[in-house]
Amino acid sequence: MTMITVTIWHNVPVDGQGRHTGMLKGYQPGDPVVRVFTYQADPAAGPEEIAEEAFAICNGHPCDAAGTDLSRRYYARELRSLSFPGR
């Protein structure tokens, strides 16, 4: 079975005082982003389901055992939730 790579990126802009600004203004064109996590997914699920699964995994609400392992690995790296843009 051919898998696809899912890549999670974090928006990381800061203001002149070093505070994360993404929470207040969201992503703006030109904002810096960094790749923080990748994993393999089954493309048969479809793009919407893959995106929903990634959101669940990276918010600590995985749907199955494989997602639970990915979520554990994501948070073991001390990464923030996808729902919260600041650290």
Q: How many domains in the chain? A: 1
Helices 65-76 & 47-57 angle (0-180, nearest 10): 50
Task: Look at residue 82 and tell me if it is in a domain.
Answer: no
Q: Note whether 46 and 77 are within 8 A (CB).
A: no
6-20 pLDDT, tens per residue?
999 988 888 889 888
Task: Look at residue 42 and tell me if it is in a domain.
Answer: yes
44-80 pLDDT, tens per residue?
999 999 999 999 999 999 999 999 999 999 999 999 8
Nearest CA among 45, 41, 35 for reference residue 8: 35
Question: pLDDT-based confidence at 86, cuts 50/70/90?
Answer: very low
Q: Which residue is listed with tokens 């982003």?
A: 33
Task: Look at residue 17 and tell me if it is in a domain.
Answer: no
Domain that holds residue 33: 4-12+27-76
Q: Which residue is listed with tokens 């393999």?
A: 40
Task: Look at residue 57 and tell me if it is in a domain.
Answer: yes
Task: Look at residue 20 and tell me if it is in a domain.
Answer: no
Task: Look at residue 8 and tell me if it is in a domain.
Answer: yes
Question: pLDDT-based confidence at 87, cuts 50/70/90?
Answer: very low
Task: Look at residue 81 and tell me if it is in a domain.
Answer: no
Residue 24 has what pLDDT? 74
Residue 21 has what pLDDT? 81
